[in-house]
Amino acid sequence: RRIATMSGKDFGELVLVLGDAHIPHRAGVIPEKFQRMLVPNKMQHVVCTGNLCTREQYEEIRALAPNVHVVAGDFDEVTSFPESKVIQIGHFRIGVMHGHQIVPWGDPHSLAMFQRRLDVDILVTGHTHKNQVNEFDGKWFINPGSITGAYSSLQADSVPSFVLLAIQGSKVVTYVYELHGDNVEVSKSEFQKPV
């Protein structure tokens, strides 16, 4: 599948969610199969959970969409990124943070505490390098994993992944892209916000 075939008119606002690239420290490049899918200006937003690591990586993702939202990871060289950020897309308030601040890492109750603190419908975090899309207490929690498949202290074998959100008013469709060998696998889930 190619993201490029999805037009904004058919899918609402498209939001690319990625993070934990760790280039050049733990990975060399974003996998070629993903690079071919990430066509500039097909998405309206890029949300990044941090750990791009270098200014060059930041400049590359800035070229993908008119609205780029990046938070600080624990390995980023760029120090001007905020610890957390809240953005509004459609009817959704989306909170973004790297995730190293959440203890234990990836814990649903700890994530829910930060979700309430930021007062958001969707909380996007990274750090674990393992993608997840979960609903908990009527809110959504998304982790795009590592776009490069960089290793982490939690797991040596990370599957390269990213998430695409298609937001149409009070509905969001989530597509999780995972690279297994030479195959890109896509899973889909939907969330409807009560109005």
Q: Is this structure's pTM higher than 0.75? A: yes
pLDDT of residue 77: 87
Please give the distance of CA 103 from its chain centroid, rounded to a whole number.
Answer: 19
Task: List Cβ neighbours of 43 (8 Å cut-off, separation of 6 or more).
Answer: 3, 14, 15, 16, 64, 65, 164
pLDDT digit string, tens, across residues 63-101: 999 999 999 999 988 889 999 999 999 999 999 999 998
Peptide bond into 24 cis (omega under 30): yes
Q: Are 37 and 16 in contact (CB under 8 A)?
A: no
pLDDT of residue 78: 85
Could you give the angle at the alpha carbon of 14 between the alpha carbons of 133 and 54, nearest 5°?
A: 80
Secondary structure of the chain in HEC code, one letter for each residue: CCHHHCCHHHHCEEEEEECCCCCCCCCCCCCHHHHHHCCCCCCCEEEECCCCCCHHHHHHHHCCCCEEEECCCCCCCCCCCCCEEEEEECCEEEEEECCCCCCCCCCHHHHHHHHHHHCCCEEECCCCCCCEEEEECCEEEEECCCCCCCCCCCCCCCCCEEEEEEEECCEEEEEEEEEECCEEEEEEEEEECCC
Q: How far apart are the first and last CA of the chain?
A: 32
What is the β-pairing status of strands 84-89 and 92-97?
antiparallel
pLDDT of residue 10: 60
Which residue ranges in the chain fall short of pLDDT 70?
1-10
